[in-house]
Structure 1
């Protein structure tokens, strides 16, 4: 009687491993997905949002903070280089934070674009993160889950 190696078959048929990296209120979350040699990606998910993936958790959480800062937005229909109107209307700090969630954009690029020092760009980001945290805390205190 021969034995088969079920372990090898299981490894070939198993898809990417997913887990919730961060769970927010109102059905918003960041899902961590590890797919073998492809590495790990972090997918932002929210109701009425098509979802978007990031290479690192920090960028994904910043995107979530921008999302809460403007009370949600949808990127569908803005084109490859467009910015959702909610982001534009929210002010410079929110726009700076949003820019930093885009591919190939970093603090130095944003600082150069605005003619500011990188430290000021980081202060903008910190303001958005702080506001988003207060918004989530306030919503949770009012029973929103």
Structure 2
């Protein structure tokens, strides 16, 4: 489950995996080196982010909607965008789950909670993101 901020050139097999409101989407593709499927998160005013894991890409999109968008540019390799830090413990935990080398156990250790609590935090972010997207669709903000 790696994560990369460097967009990789793609071969011919590229398709939209998930298309959200407001021009946000996840593209599934095979990289030129042929190392399995990858998932590219795309949004307006966002430099793009690549994941090896579909669930991480989808959770990243949920975090993006939960905080009304963010930009990782200039945060450094280990930095966290201010919008995510300000959003609270559950959003930060969900964001950590999208980072390379972290999982529920790492995040649980960081917060001093059980892995089930981290999973609950992520589920809250997913629920809020879906509510935000549904509200945008209701307002015609496709």
**How does the TM-score come out when normalised to structure 1?**
0.88
1:91 aligns with 2:88: yes
- List, as ranges, runs of 4+ consecutive aligned residues in structure 1 with deviation greater than 6 Å: none
Q: Which runs of 5+ in 1 are unaligned?
A: 1-13
Per-residue deviation at 1:34? Answer: 1.6
Larger of the two Rg values belongs to structure: 1
Q: Does 1:79 align with 2:55?
A: no
Corresponding residue for residue 117 of structure 1: 114
Show structure 2 runs of 5+ residues with no match: 1-9
- Flag the structure with more relative contact order, 1 or 2, with Cα contacts below 8 A and sequence separation at least 6: 2
**Residue number among 50, 57, 60 corresponding to 2:57 in the alignment:** 60
Shift of 1:107: 0.4
C-alpha contact (below 8 Å) 2:11/2:29 kept by paired residues: no
Match of 2:98 among 89, 101, 105: 101
* C-alpha distance after superposition, 1:85-141 (max 9, x if no partner): 000000000000000000010000000111100000000000000000000000100
Give the count of matched residue pairs: 132
1:49-97 CA-to-partner distances (Å, cap 9, x unmatched) read 0000001110000000000000000000101110000000000000000
Q: TM-score, normalised by structure 2?
A: 0.90
What is the root-mean-square deviation of aligned Cα atoms in Å? Answer: 1.2
